[in-house]
Amino acid sequence: MEIKFYNRVTGKVDHEMVYGDKFIEWLYESTSGKGMSHLICKAPLSKFYGALQDSPLSQKKVAPFIKKFNIQMEDYLPEEGRTSSSPYSTFNQFFIRRFQPGKRPIVENPKEMAAFSEARYYGYESVQDNETVPVKGHNLKPKALIANSKWEDTFEDGPLLLARLCPVDYHRYHFPDDGKIVDDYRVTGLYHSVNPLALKSKEDILITNERHVTILETKNFGKLAYIEVGAICVGKIIQSKPLDKGRSFARGEEKGYFLFGGSTVIVIGEKGKWKPSSDILENTKKGMETYLHLGMTVANIG
């Protein structure tokens, strides 16, 4: 399956190189793979595979991975305490690499929401809970994503952004605006792949996978439901600081990171408070994701 996306950075349509594409095809398209998926996508096995990326032996995977996917390593810092000659002790340390200071400026205009992930985005001005968005099989029912009756009405019929992080991407996620934390909880679930092939084959992945939900009160965009979705072979969803109720955060501040695996961040807003950027909306209607750098404008007020 060919995956095309619009790259806002280059202004061109690109073709995605999929990490583990043969495995994904087997798991979601073959009879034997579908028969094994109930075991492979459960937390213990997926987390065990993710944990293997912390082994010193996993360091051997780093250089071939960088070469195959042409990752621009001059943009990134080495692991703390290491040098550029041997920058990472394990594959997971490479996977959660940080940007060099200044490499990803954060948009400052208060009417523009900053991209919270370096990822491929879908966006919708409004998602009602009684419909399934017909894009590559995504099932984006807000109530099911949020999974908490306390917040269902707050985000009814609101705008939604879905950011898909590939294994080749920067895997830290950030706050899109200044604000404070209102609520925080986990929703247990499975660890299916979030690759478009998997989403096409199994439409309920995003509402059955494990996820972490944080309710944010932002300075400029109202309340947001910030949802990190686990995926196959993701060792953990890590929060960088305790998410205590009432704690303040700043636009662009790191919120957390995913250990090894492809992952997704979903942000849902209150009805009419903001809408995704026009190119994201236009490409979504075409069934195409829009690739953004961290900190670029991802949504606007009005």
Q: Determine contact, residues 155/146, Cβ cutoff 8 Å.
A: yes
Question: What is the pLDDT at residue 195?
Answer: 45
How far, in Å, CA of 66 to CA of 248, rounded?
A: 36
DSSP 42-66: SHHHHHHHHHHTTSGGGGGGHHHHH
Question: What is the pLDDT at residue 188?
Answer: 76
pLDDT over 70 percentage in the chain = 76
Chain segment 236-295, per-residue pLDDT in tens:
789 999 999 999 999 999 999 988 766 889 999 999 999 999 999 999 999 899 999 999
Question: What is the pLDDT at residue 59?
Answer: 93
Q: Determine contact, residues 197/29, Cβ cutoff 8 Å.
A: yes
Instruction: List alpha helices for the chain, DSSP H.
Output: 21-29, 31-40, 43-52, 62-69, 91-95, 142-146, 149-152, 196-201, 205-208, 278-285
Instruction: List alpha helices for 122-219, DSSP H.
Output: 142-146, 149-152, 196-201, 205-208
Using CA atoms of 238, 229, 163, 62 in order, give the dihedral in degrees to the nearest 10: 50
Please indicate whether residue 54 or residue 225 has the higher confidence score (pLDDT): 225
Question: What is the pLDDT at residue 41?
Answer: 46
- The single residue listed with the structure tokens 């925080």 is 184
Question: At 145, is the pLDDT very low, low, confident or very high (cuts 50, 70, 90)?
Answer: confident
Nearest to 169 by CA among 51, 9, 2: 9
Question: What is the pLDDT at residue 28?
Answer: 44
Residue 149 has pLDDT above 90, yes or no: yes
Residue 204 has pLDDT above 60, yes or no: no
Chain segment 55-101, per-residue pLDDT in tens:
889 999 999 999 999 999 999 999 999 998 899 999 999 999 999 99
